[in-house]
Amino acid sequence: MAALADEDLKAQLLGAILPHVAFDGWSETSVNAACQDLSVTRQMVALVCPRGAIDLAVRFHHDGDEAMQVELQKSDLNSMKIREKITFSVCARLNAISDKEAVRRGATLMSLPQHAAEGAGLVWGTCDRIWMAIGDSSDDVNWYTKRLTLSSVYSATVLYWLGDHSPNHQDTWTFLDRRIENVMQFEKFKAQVNANPLAKPLLAGPNWLLSKIKAPSCAPVVDLPGNWSRRP
């Protein structure tokens, strides 16, 4: 029950802080204003958001991921080609954003050196959700390259979207199509290189090394005294 109450308070804080983020960013000033709006103390906020505004910015991102997930589950992804699935998923994620200015301020926050790693992790998490939703079953190095490639496409598309004022963000969707086309062309080039008999001797060593890379296990590793389960 306490955990549920904490999540309720965090959700209320997120709703209260968003109007202030447009003016003061994801900052302590905005957190203080949200506290005043909700008539809660900073001590109460510290219990659910120890890092203050950064924790609320992360929650805002995760809420967008959840909204995207719901939309993807309602959609008939099986009838789409892989390229259509990716395009649809990225569009669904951007359409799930309730406050464009909050994303702009969040991008600024996550570009700071002390938050850059966490920002990259959030983008990676979004792209992982997309690949899982569209049925990715890779368990080798492709698991990583797919998410890395989509992360670059998604990040570039978000930045373009932030400055897009075209009707219904049509320019953004055109930009996204071009980025995905670039990726598809690169994948075709890789396939041609791997199929080239002259290149096979040169690629034998690198391909052997890459074959040793496996996707992370979905099962959590329990590393506690008295646990007899083996690590994967």
Q: What is the pLDDT of residues 126-161, one digit of tens each?
A: 999 999 999 998 888 889 999 999 999 999 999 999
* Residue 26, phi then psi, degrees to nearest 5: -80, 85
Which pLDDT band holds residue 232 (cuts at 50, 70, 90)? very low
Task: State residue 147's pLDDT score.
Answer: 94
**Alpha-carbon distance 94 to 121, whole Å?**
17
Query: Contact, 77 vs 134, CB < 8 A?
Result: yes
Mean pLDDT score across all residues of the chain: 87
Which pLDDT band holds residue 202 (cuts at 50, 70, 90)? low
**Alpha-carbon distance 39 to 230, whole Å?**
50
User: Tokens representing 148?
Assistant: 């890395």
Position 85 pLDDT exceeds 70: yes
Q: Sketch the domain layout of the chain as residue ranges.
A: 60-200
CB within 8 A of 21, min separation 6: which ones?
A: 30, 99, 101, 102, 105
Architecture of the 60-200 domain? Orthogonal Bundle (1.10)
Which pLDDT band holds residue 193 (cuts at 50, 70, 90)? low
96 vs 185, residue with greater confidence: 96
Overall pTM surpassing 0.75 (yes/no): yes
Query: Contact, 45 vs 13, CB < 8 A?
Result: yes
pLDDT 10s digits, 90-107:
999 999 998 999 999 999
